[in-house]
Structure 1
Amino acid sequence: MLISIVAPCFNEEDVIGRFHEAVQKIAEELLPLGHDMEFVYVDDGSSDRTLTELERLAELDARVRYLSFSRNFGKEAALLAGLRHASGDSVIVMDADLQHPPELIHRMVELHAQGYDQVIAKRTRTGDRLTRTVTARLYYRLINRLVDIELIDGVGDFRLLSRRVVNAVLDLTEYNRFSKGLFAWVGFPSTTFEYENAVRAQGHSSWNFRSLLNYGLDGLLSFNNRPLRAALYLGMGLLLCTGLYTAWIVGAALINGVQTPGYVTIITAVTAAAAMQMIMMGIIGEYTGRIYYEVKGRPHFLIKATNVERSHDRPSCGGHAAKDLIP
């Protein structure tokens, strides 16, 4: 069985060599068991010497295949590119910063041999800040009440996918991608095991609070329309409150006569109504913006350098070749 390692890279020049040595060692250990490996690295528009390092690795190891984007398109685009260009019977998606321990590949392969199409590594939150742990738990509790799939706290992109799962994910051609949700949406027999959280080998994570917040909103909006329904209910509730308040004012005027209206009450009501309108417009705008990007039909990424031949591209389940641009 051919196993493809797909590893997105962004400014990983200091660690990519160590990562490749680690997965090379695993490949040598699996070879006597009948498993061969290829390594698909996707340079997501790095500003350092990551591409130079990938070119060097490709010269030293014929199993290395790399793609380099024309700019930073984001991790979701890098994952998509890696899956499109992976030729393996199974694909293991992992980060190149060694936070995903390569030694866990053995366990993934063993569980895959038992018939699982997805073998998912779930990290513990050992060592995480308390605020991040609490925030993550609250987020997953909220999102699992809203979306139509189950997202598990601690589960990320580190997983083994069978070829039929990869093809199913590639059939989902949407522009706004949330891979963690897509992997859950396609289904197929899956199993999960835990591992201790590893410290990043070099450098700093590019994920800050803003990017994590945007990523969380993508997960919330990508798999349901309940925020739109909530906006409708909110508007109906506000209309009901306004009707009750109007009836109360008219009744008070009929009984007690016209009095000078309260300034605070008016300002509060106007401000609350304006805030609700802005929230509803924002929710509608988010969905409209996603439709806008889908309709334009732009490619998910552009490739400026690669050693991958076009003949390696696999068709999706529907038989259509994957679409990307390699100038």
Structure 2
Amino acid sequence: MISAPETWLVNYSVVVPVFQGQDTLPSLVEQLQTFFAEINCSYELIFVHDGGHARAWDVVIQLRQKLGPAFVQAIRLSRNFGQHNALLCGFGYAKGQFIVTLDEDLQHSPADIKLLIQRQAQGNFDVVYGCYSARQHAGWRNLTSILLRQMLRLGIPELHADYSAFRLLKTEIARHCLTMHNSYTFLDGYLTWVTNSVASVAVTHQPRSVGRSSYTVGRLVRHSVNIFITFSDVPVRLLTYTSLLLFSCTSGYSFYILLRKLIYKDLLPGFASLIIAIGFGTGLLFLGMGILGEYIHRINQKITKRPDFVVRETYTE
């Protein structure tokens, strides 16, 4: 992969994960060409084929042949690693001072990149998200997105509230994400570990013009669970605090039964020893589970060595 150059070769690197964009990529490229011609900035397009439709890869190669290798880099992964992993791969090949990420389905308008650029310049932010006043997804998708964001606001409070797949970020910041190898890749979670210089700006969200989203309810649920387990300590903290509460309650009740047995002696034979064994023992088990969960949480953060992606072939020169 390309290491960070001393001087940037272009102003902007546009990284697009490709899964089933065979019908939308030509139009997306045309809009990007028009936009960058208007602002008179140098750019490159980086398409990362994430194990999707074979025709989509053919279209990427055709666009590279049409526009030339100076404008289009094409990377093909060995299988589907997920959108965030594909973006990480693209970051490693970026030659621009800034990276723009957007989807292949034309729901992100290339013309709105100008809004991201202007917002970044206002505060020299490391990351700028494009946020949507109205999302043009299906009703169930909008509902699950709202629920997920509310959960993440509680579980990962440092995550920017307006995070989205439409981003502008400094390449030097993006490259830090390549050094992280976690059990699950959540790019926006990585960015919270790297910087808090983050802003957002309102952009349009276009209706899907071709095909339908590859995200199903099941995939979104798995995505949410993986984010919580990997990037939030709320689940393990909930287990720990619950264990401490149960240990305190059961131990307190066991102590009460012991005193009653010694002072009043009004309990049936064997009742006190049974309650103490069950109450104190159960509380101790829950406490042990909480402590064990804390250790597992830390081990999960440190030892994962699964690759984020594997590149099958590249056209980058």
TM score, norm. by length of structure 2 = 0.78
Residue equivalent to 2:50: 44
Q: 1:226 to 1:144 in 2, by over 3 A?
A: closer
Q: Cα offset for 1:72?
A: 0.8
Residue equivalent to 2:5: none
Structure 1, residues 53-85: CA drift from partner, whole Å, max 9, x if none? 111111111111110111111112101111111
Q: 1:278 to 1:197 in 2, by over 3 A?
A: farther
Residue equivalent to 1:119: 128
- 1:165–1:188 contact (8 Å) kept in structure 2: no
- 1:94–1:159 contact (8 Å) kept in structure 2: yes
Counterparts of 1:228 and 1:4, CA distance in 2 = 39
Which amino acid is the alignment partner of residue 174 of structure 1?
H
Are 2:315 and 1:307 aligned? Answer: yes
- 1:44–1:71 contact (8 Å) kept in structure 2: yes
Are 2:151 and 1:139 aligned? Answer: yes
Residue equivalent to 2:267: 257
Q: 1:288 to 1:188 in 2, by over 3 A?
A: closer
Local SS of the residue matching 1:155 = coil
Structure 1, residues 212-261: CA drift from partner, whole Å, max 9, x if none? 23333443344454544443332222211211332444566655331897
Are 2:181 and 1:174 aligned? Answer: yes
Which amino acid is the alignment partner of residue 58 of structure 2?
T
Are 2:195 and 1:187 aligned? Answer: yes
Q: Cα offset for 1:157?
A: 2.7
Local SS of the residue matching 1:89 = strand
TM score, norm. by length of structure 1 = 0.75
- 1:144–1:151 contact (8 Å) kept in structure 2: no
Residue equivalent to 2:250: 242
Counterparts of 1:100 and 1:284, CA distance in 2 = 41
Q: 1:274 to 1:195 in 2, by over 3 A?
A: farther
Which amino acid is the alignment partner of residue 53 of structure 1?
V
2:86 is aligned, of 70, 73, 78, to: 78
Local SS of the residue matching 1:256 = coil
**Length, aligned pairs only:** 294
Q: 1:144 to 1:291 in 2, by over 3 A?
A: closer
Q: Cα offset for 1:23?
A: 1.4
Q: Cα offset for 1:179?
A: 0.8
Counterparts of 2:216 and 2:284, CA distance in 1 = 33
Note the aligned Cα RMSD (angstroms): 3.4
Residue equivalent to 1:156: 164
- After the TM superposition, which of the residue ranges 298-307 and 212-221 deviates more from structure 2? 212-221
Q: 1:201 to 1:221 in 2, by over 3 A?
A: same
Residue equivalent to 1:312: none
1:293 is aligned, of 291, 294, 304, to: 304
Counterparts of 2:54 and 2:227, CA distance in 1 = 30
Counterparts of 2:119 and 2:146, CA distance in 1 = 31
Counterparts of 1:144 and 1:305, CA distance in 2 = 36
Which amino acid is the alignment partner of residue 44 of structure 1?
D
2:39 is aligned, of 30, 35, 42, to: 30
- After the TM superposition, which of the residue ranges 283-292 and 213-222 deviates more from structure 2? 283-292
- 2:14–2:100 contact (8 Å) kept in structure 1: yes
Counterparts of 2:147 and 2:63, CA distance in 1 = 39
Counterparts of 2:155 and 2:195, CA distance in 1 = 18
Gaps of 5+ in 2: 1-9
2:221 is aligned, of 198, 203, 213, to: 213
